[in-house]
Amino acid sequence: MALTAPIIHSNGTSAQRILDDYDMAYQALNEATLALQRTAPNGRDYYVVPDSLPKAEQEHMERLVMLRTIQDQLEELMEKVTDQVDEQNRIRGR
């Protein structure tokens, strides 16, 4: 999926603010990932229902993948913003 990055210009939010906010969200997702990893299914909690552990493990992995997908999107957005700043600096001769 192609992401729509904000357009960096003089009347909008500064590139640094956007990058800082994306980074803050990225770091929060790191913390969420660590917390979610601690909720990994334990076989002792599932053995009374046959075949429920593999299903619970699959669901757990899918949740972890969702967080990683969001982080990947944030990385892509940060790259797009940085590329705009680099291009603007190149045009200005900086």
Render pLDDT for 38-89 as a digit per residue (tens, 0 to 9). 999 999 999 999 999 999 999 999 999 999 999 999 999 999 999 999 999 9
pTM of the model: 0.90
What's the pLDDT score for residue 67? 98
> Looking at the 3D structure of the chain, how many domains does it have?
1
Q: Does 6 reside within a domain?
A: no
CA distance 57 to 43: 10
Q: Does 1 reside within a domain?
A: no
Q: Does 2 reside within a domain?
A: no
| CA 19 to centroid of chain Cα atoms | 13
Structural domain span for residue 24 = 16-92
Q: Which residues of 37-57 are buried (b: 16+ CB within 10 A; e: fewer)?
A: eeeebeeeebeeeeeebeebe
